[in-house]
Amino acid sequence: MDKMELTEPVNLIKSVFVCNTFNFLFAAAKSCLFPFLTLYLRLLGLTATETGIIIGAKTISAFIFAPLWALCSAKFRKRRLVLMFSIFMMALTYLGLTLVMNVNHAATACPGDIPPGNMKGTLKELLHNIKTNRTDIQPTKTQLQLNQTGDITSLMKTSKSPLQPTDLPMTTTEKEKKVNKIFDYGRKLLIELGLSKAEVDGLSNSDMIGLFQDMLTQKNWQTTIRQSLSPEEMEEFFTFLDQAVDAISKGEIKVGKKITKRSLKDTWQNIKTNLKSLKTAWTVKITEAEVEGQIFLILLLTLVFGEVFASPVEKIADDAWFEFLEKIDNLEKYGKQRIFTSLAFIIFPIIVTLIVDNTTCLFSLRMHPISLHFYMFGGFLGLTFLVAFFYPTSNSEKRKYKTKITHALNLTFCKCEGLFYILTLLIVGAIYASYNNFLFWLIEDLHGKELTMGLCVSIANLAEIPMLFFSGPLVRKLGNGMAVCLSMTFLAGRTLFYSYLWTPWAVLPAEMTHAFTHTIMWYAVLSNPVFSSNPTVDRGVRSVFSSIYFGVGFSGGSILSGIVYDHYGVNILFRACAVIAIAWCPIFVIMNRCCARPSVSEIKYTRLLTSEDVNSDSDDDWLEHALKTG
């Protein structure tokens, strides 16, 4: 299936079309899910530390196994087979995440269940209806006939802002105090569910009864209450219902014409029959920490093990395309396929987030709209799998892989200037991981929509396009070292701006600086004459730098940023990133000037010595593009 003879005629137009289509569809799949993966992990109840560990471990797994699979597939001439197997395993791994049970019921609850964030608006509507029809409800004059078992004093919590009843005259009798506490708790419960203190204080006791009647007869109220209250608050709510139903049944609380005593009693009696199942659900939630720990381990093992087999997709495709073009002596077309990758990352994040924001209950199947990210990912990945049947491949073995990597390591790790570029990329990679993983958490905390997040991804990728034309002149004007320093300065400003973000939409202008913090940085590093011996070694150097940035730096930064997020908060995290970036600038400039630069003759001599490797195989920036937005 993979074999292609040298004498076989090649349809170059068809091959280019297949390659571009493959890259476009694969990038479309990644852009629908990978930038938003941490949002799903948060929805499952994972902490920032756990999220950072999962992302970091996943990255290391890909960093280790992708080149191994690529090397083996080339050696045994099974590139297309391994490519298709990896695509299948990627779909299996990430679509399998949707099967993970969420103990908070948030990832499986339909938005029609009224999530806590929308509870306030729903209660406001009910409150408006109650006040509009207040003439139908007679003022309550409670006859205090509670039995001796009705004391709920032990269940009441100390409130920071005690609520005073509005229409029950305070007396000194013990039974009056008990009834007052019942309605005080009812008011406190409404505040917990989202109403303001002023709105609650304006309610009479009969209004409150009517409001609870309307709320509890709403569809899916159990899910709503369960998402809004803690287990302890739920126990208090059960007692409140028991006491209120008991008082209504004895005629101690009078209701008006619209809400009859019989309908109210029947409704709340039916609710009481469900208390056992609700208590069972909350018994499970009391052990939530244990269950979430199990979910963390399941997700960690799933993604790490899945990346072992799914990681080489882009590496194999890139190597195969380069060798295919090299064999037909048409290497000038290599690299143009990345335009379609960028195009997909510009278009599809906006589309998928726009659909998610305007979807309530996905396909009427009571699934959270975030599942749409996974299903669009699976759809595009399925199309990618079909195109992979026709992907152009070459079967030449990696003849001089070790020689190429040895030259690249000598240029980077064994020279002063190369070592400081390595340290710089390590720092920038860690900072990149910080905002790549947790910027959307900040936008979510500011009540931003997913469309804002999709625009962040699209604008960042769109900003790279014009900078491709200006990077060369700018780097030649400033010099490689100063261009890196300029990029670090923009990076510091970008992360500092994140820490003072006041509204979700304000993040969009900052995303345009991605052209400076990413595009110029990489152009300045890779165009440095110290690392430009010949095309073969250039590709090896790019592979080493990409591994440091997107492998070691990104994975380490993911873990560290998660720990900082949990202990100090997102604002401190971004400010720390800004301080590190700006503090490294003078160190880099000074050491870059102190390091002895090779002379022109030395560079030419090095190129002459390594010229025999010009035709060796590719280890291009596959890791950079695989993890760039994932």
Quick check: 320 and 83 in contact, CB under 8 A?
yes
pLDDT the model gives residue 16: 92
Angle at 439 between CA 433 and CA 441, to 5 degrees: 120
Q: How far apart are CA 59 and CA 242, in angstroms?
A: 53
pLDDT the model gives residue 191: 75
* Residue-wise pLDDT tens digits, 350-395: 999 999 988 766 555 556 788 899 999 999 999 999 999 999 987 6
pLDDT the model gives residue 155: 33
Higher pLDDT, 8 or 317: 317
Higher pLDDT, 490 or 624: 490
Residue located via tokens 């303001």: 196
The DSSP element (H or E) to which 42 belongs, if any, is: helix 37-43
Using a 10 angstrom Cβ sphere, with 0-12 exposed, 13-18 middle and 19 or more buried, the burial of residue 209 is buried
- Region of poorest pLDDT, from 7-16, 215-224, 518-527: 215-224
Split at pLDDT 50, 70, 90, the class of 292 is low
Q: How far apart are CA 87 and CA 106, in angstroms?
A: 29
For residues 72-89, one letter each, b for 16 or more C-beta atoms within 10 angstroms of the residue's C-beta and e for the rest, the string is: ebbeebbbbebbbbbbbb
Check whether 115 has a pLDDT greater than 50.
no
Pull the structure tokens for residue 602: 């030395």
pLDDT the model gives residue 81: 94
Mean pLDDT of the chain: 75
pLDDT the model gives residue 383: 97
pLDDT the model gives residue 2: 46
Quick check: 41 and 359 in contact, CB under 8 A?
no
Closest CA to 357 of 449, 255, 272: 449
Residues 324-347 have a mean pLDDT of 87
User: Among residues of the chain, what percentage have pLDDT more than 90?
Assistant: 37
pLDDT the model gives residue 131: 56
* Residue-wise pLDDT tens digits, 440-498: 999 999 989 999 999 999 999 999 888 888 888 898 888 888 999 999 999 999 999 99
Task: Walk me through the domains of the chain, giving residue ranges and CATH numbers.
Answer: 114-284 (no CATH), 399-630 (1.20.1250.20)
Using a 10 angstrom Cβ sphere, with 0-12 exposed, 13-18 middle and 19 or more buried, the burial of residue 388 is buried
